[in-house]
Structure 1
Amino acid sequence: MADNEQNKQVMDEAVNTLNQVAANPATPKTIKKNITDLLKELDSSEYSLSVRAANAISALDDITQDPNMPSYVRVTLWQAVSKLEGIRE
């Protein structure tokens, strides 16, 4: 049970990181839209926590390939990926 609580805490940390990127005025609009869509998927309870984390990692990998992305935004997204990779069930 502690693992599930720990996973939820890690997910919350990753969501907070993504919210900060989406709220940053320097983040390009296309990136903000992609992150907002991703946050909606993470909030959904349709899939288990680990599946949502894996889907988010895949989506973030695609998002970070955008050549218009500022490097500091890319690094912040990688931090979110790093947190999500710790979620296991």
Structure 2
Amino acid sequence: MPKKDEVLELIKQANMQMDMLISDTSVPKNVRSAVSEAKSKLNEEGEFTVRASSAIYSLDSVSNDINLPPQARTVIWGVLSILESIKD
């Protein structure tokens, strides 16, 4: 697992990417809602691995949404990759 400073930087990066998705009106509302939920789970108190796992679960459920624009799917996959690096 990365050091605390590295984890905090990864969380900051993930938050920025998720903010971009939340504010993108071309992304379906259900996906924006799931991304918002994942962001709140990631920013809760507790262990980093638990927070990252909860956020991954929320994002994974919408990453294959048929109505998801390709650029948004790529961003979600990037966020999932960041969160996986926190979890490991």
What is the percentage of aligned positions where both structures have the same residue? 23
* Structure 1 residues not aligned, in runs of 5+: none
- Partner residue, 2:10: 10
Counterpart Cα distance in 2 of 1:29 and 1:11? 23
Shift of 1:58: 2.1
Structure 1 residues 26-52: Cα deviation after superposition (integer angstroms, max 9, x where no partner): 11111111111221111110x311111
Q: Say if 1:57 and 1:81, in contact at 8 Å, map to a contact too.
A: yes
- Computed over aligned residues only, the root mean square deviation of the Cα atoms, in angstroms, reads 1.6
Q: Which residue identity is paired with 1:73?
A: A
Counterpart Cα distance in 1 of 2:62 and 2:18? 12
Counterpart Cα distance in 2 of 1:48 and 1:79? 22
Counterpart Cα distance in 2 of 1:88 and 1:31? 22
- Partner residue, 2:78: 79
Compute the TM-score of the two structures, normalised by the length of structure 2.
0.88
Compute the TM-score of the two structures, normalised by the length of structure 1.
0.87
* Structure 2 residues not aligned, in runs of 5+: none
- Larger RCO (CA under 8 A, 6+ residues apart): 1
Aligned pair in 2 of structure 1 residues 33, 88: CA closer, same or farther (>3 Å)?
closer
Aligned residues: 87
